[in-house]
Structure 1
Amino acid sequence: MGLSLSRCRSGIAGDDISSPTGQRSADTPGQRGSRFAASRSAVLSPLSSRAAARPEGRLPYEVAVAVGDHLNLGAQARLAMTSRATLGLLPHIRERVAAIKAAAENEIQAFANPQGTVLDAASPALGRVTELPKALRAEIVGRAVAEYKLPDTDLTEAIEPVRARFALLCEHVVALHDHPRFATLASQLVTNALAETYRTGDDWVHLNSGEALQHALPVLERLPERDRHRLAKYMRRNIVLMLRVADRPDALNAISQAAGPRRGPFCGLLRN
C-alpha cells in the first residue's frame, strides 16, 4: 500500500504528466490556435475560390439597386455608405432628389398660376417631398405655402382641389413642427394660404365653410404659446369674418380650444 501511494505522488509532482492510455495529450494555446486555423481554412477553402471569382461588392450593389426605389432617401443614402461598391448608388440618389424637387416646383407653379391648369386634388408631386431631407423639404413647403392661390375660374367646381391642396399643406407644416422654420411656416400658412382659400368673392356665402380652418388648427396647437395666441387672434379678427355666418360660432370655439388658456406672469398668484 505504501509503495502504491508513493508512485502516485511521484507522477503528480513531476514536470512531465503522462496522459491516460487512449487519450490525446493536452495542447498548448498556440497548438490549439494553429489547429483551429487549419480546420477553418479546410472548411472555407471551397468557398474561397468562389469569393475570389465574384467581383468585390457585386451582390450588395445589385441588391441595393433592386430595393433602392422602395426605400426613402435617408435609408437609401445610409445603404449607399455601407461599402465602396454601394457608393455607386449616390448618383441615383441625387437624381431622385432632383426629380422630386423639380416635380414639386412644377406643381407649385401650377397652383401659383392656376389659370387654365387642371389642378390635382391628390397633389402627388408635393406629397413626395416627405422623402427629401428636412431642410430641403421645409424650403419647398415654404414656397408652396407662400404661393398658394385660388384659380380665376368658376370656384364652385375648382374649390375642392385647391382646398384639398391646403389640407395637404397643413399636414406638411405639422410634420415640420420640430424644424427651426416651423413658426414662420405656420404664420405663412395662416396669413397667406388659409386667408387665400377663403377669398371666394361673391360665392363666399356658399363656399366658405369652416372645414379649411379646422385643417389649420393642428398647426396652431404645436406652436409656442406666444405664437399660438398671436395667430389665434389673427384668425378671430380676419378669417372668421370670411366664413359663413352659421359656421362662425363653431370656428371661434375651435380656435379657443386650439390656442388654450393664456398663462400670464401673475396666473399663479391669482390662483393662490
Structure 2
Amino acid sequence: MLKRVIHQFDLNVLSINEVEDSRSSTVYKCNLSNGNNVYLKIPFTKLKFQRELDAYELLKGEVSIPEMKDYWSGDAECPGAFVLSELKGRPLTSNATPKIAYQVGVLQARMHSLRPPIDQKLVGMQNQFSNWSHFVEQQFYSFAEDVREILDERLYKLAVERFEDMKHGLPLPDGPSFIHMDFRPANIIFDQDEVTGVIDFESARFGSTEIDFTKLYRDFLSYDESLYSAFQEGYKSIRPLVDLDQVLPFYRFTDAFNSIGWCKRRGIEENASFLEKNLTRLKTWLL
C-alpha cells in the first residue's frame, strides 16, 4: 500500500518513518530528495478521508494548518491519501507555558467560530448539532457493546446508570460549530513559545463545542491550574466559553467509557496502557 501511494504521488523519497500516536490514520514522515519533509497520510476509511478533505477546505485561511500539497481519492484497495506540509515544531507537552495555553485557547475558539457553510456541499463532515443529544447517546451505546465484554456486570450497570443520570444536567448545546473531536496535545504543534497549528481532522464534524474540551483537559489542562486559566482567557478573547465546570464531568466520564470500547475494537494488547488508564478513570468516577 505504501509503495503504491508513493508511486501515485510521484514522490522521490530518501527516507521514511512511521509517525507514532496516530490513532485513525497511518502517517509517515518522508524526507524528499529536494531536502523537504512532507507527511504522507492514509486514513483508515473512506469516510475519514472525506472528513479530512472537507476540513482542509473549511479551515484554509481560518486556522493555522498544514498545507495540503496533494491528495488522492483512492481506489477499491486504498481509501485515499494526502501529502501534507510539515508544521514547524513538535506536539504539545504538559510542561508548556501559560502563554502557549493561551494560544491554544485562541486556536480552538477560532475553529469553534466556524459555522456550517451555506454555499458549500460537504461530503464527509456531518452536522450533528440539531440532534446533539441523540449523537452523544449513539456514541455511548455503540461503544457500550464493546465495553460490556471488558467490565464486570456490576460496574457496567453502574456506568450506564451514571450516564443516564449525568446527561440530564447538561446545558443547551453550543453551536453549530466546527469541532475537532480529537483536540489533544498530540495534534497541536508548537515551536518554542508559539503555537504553529493543529493537525488531524478525520473525526471532525459540526456539533456542540462542549465535547471538544475533553481530551485537551485530560492530557494537558488538568496538570496545571495556570494552564487551565490561561487557556480559558485565550478562548474567551475570541468567543464565549461554555461553563466547563458544568460540562466537563459528563464528557470526561463518557470519554473514559468510550475509550475502553475503542481499545476493545482496536486491540486490547496493542492498547493495553491506554486501556488501563481509562479503566482507572472510570472506576474513579463510579467507585
TM norm structure 1: 0.28
Q: Which has the larger share of helix?
A: 1
Greater RCO (CA < 8 Å, at least 6 residues apart): 2
Give the number of the structure whose alpha-carbon radius of gyration is greater: 1
Structure with more strand by fraction: 2
Report the TM-score, using the length of structure 2 for normalisation: 0.27
